[in-house]
Amino acid sequence: MRIALLAHTDAPWTPLYAAHFAAAGHIVTILSFCPDSLPNAAQLPATCTVTFVGDLPYNPAGNKTVFLRKIPRVRALLRQFRPDVVFAPYLLSNGLCAALAWRGPLVVTAVGSDVLQQAGTLRLPPLVRRALVTVVARRARWMVAVSEELAQACVQLGAKPGQVKVFPVGIDVQAFQPGPKSQPGQPLAVVCVRKHAPVYENHVLLQAIALLRQQHAQGRPAVPLTCTFAGSGPLLASFRQQVKALSLQDCVTVLGHVDHAEVASLLAAADVSVSCTSSDGTSAALLEGMASGALPVVTDITANQGWVVPGVNGLQFPVGDVVALAAALRQASQDFALRDRALHDNPPRVAAQADIAVNMGKVLEMLEDAWRRG
């Protein structure tokens, strides 16, 4: 097939889709609203091309009308490429542009902020959001939702129930494997690989660590730990200032952006993987941490509840609740039996349900079905 992929080159799934489609023998072109080069471009065949279609200077949090203004440009490029099918992750950006620029077979993906209202994202009136989702749903043959919560939201906003398939993008289960964990008497190794953006609320973890120190000063047992943040984002600079303001430099490391291989190494050595997000799809960060045998300590949002059972294979805390997160970290530092269950039970579950090779195959089946139906 000739597959046109409307996807940001800086999105983690874009190089994965491109590599998988190309490896299966398909001709792929990527139309991206982000000017960044594709991370693995040199490893892709010459039949896989990338074209920037957005605005410069690039501002990911800027004017979202770019997805409408660039419709003529996208339409012209699609006519030139002559795809058999178009695939567009992010329903209300790339998906909307594709639905309005292309009249042929279309498959779209809902991943989180494109359907759910999340902190720091474009706020649309409910009727407008419903109208836009309905437009995309009427044009798309299939819609992939990476969590059940997103699937329900898509249906509530205008998609047909039978049109929506639910499965995560998945992760490379061969790359994310458990490594040696800390032993009794050693500091708890905590890792957070969420971006520094409003929806992820990484400051809650900082405040929980500061609270644990305050509790120790008041006579409670200490919770020795190290915490590493790996991720970029618009709040990175201010986050580093918060670390200094809370005097946590001795136990908190803020790396900024790191490549995927380093993320795998960090999680392999982690005892605990934390996510403070207020909203999500099925997070690759959650799956990668679970595959690495790190105990997931995550917010009790719907997207996480399908993967994490408190006290069984992880811990949960209410969104924004610093005290509850501090208590969860204290429990994680002491409950070696829970950490052992996470280490032994979570990796095979992720391998069974979120192997990216399997789930990419599902996407290809949907693209082929859309193409056959015309």
Which residues have C-beta within 8 Å of that of residue 366, sequence separation ≥ 6?
107, 141, 142, 144, 165
Tokens of residue 97, six digits: 């542009």
CATH code, residues 188-353: 3.40.50.2000
| Residue 108 DSSP code | E
| Architecture of the 2-170+355-373 domain | 3-Layer(aba) Sandwich (3.40)
**pLDDT tens digits, one per residue of 214-248:** 999 999 999 999 999 999 999 999 999 999 999 99
N- to C-terminal Cα distance for the chain? Answer: 13
Q: What is the value of pTM for the model shown?
A: 0.80
pLDDT at 117 over 70: no
Arithmetic mean of pLDDT over the chain: 92
The larger pLDDT score, comparing residue 54 to residue 120, is at 54
The larger pLDDT score, comparing residue 15 to residue 319, is at 319
Region 337-342: mean pLDDT is: 97
Query: Where in the chain are the domains?
Result: 2-170+355-373, 188-353
- Rounded distance between C-alpha atoms, residue 357 and residue 22, angstroms: 13
Burial class of residue 83 in the structure, from the number of CB atoms within 10 Å of its CB (0-12 exposed, 13-18 middle, 19+ buried): buried
At 228 the three-state DSSP class reads strand
**pLDDT tens digits, one per residue of 55-97:** 998 887 667 789 999 999 999 999 999 999 999 998 989 999 9
Which residues have C-beta within 8 Å of that of residue 348, sequence separation ≥ 6?
none
Whether 2-170+355-373 shares its CATH topology with 188-353 is answered yes
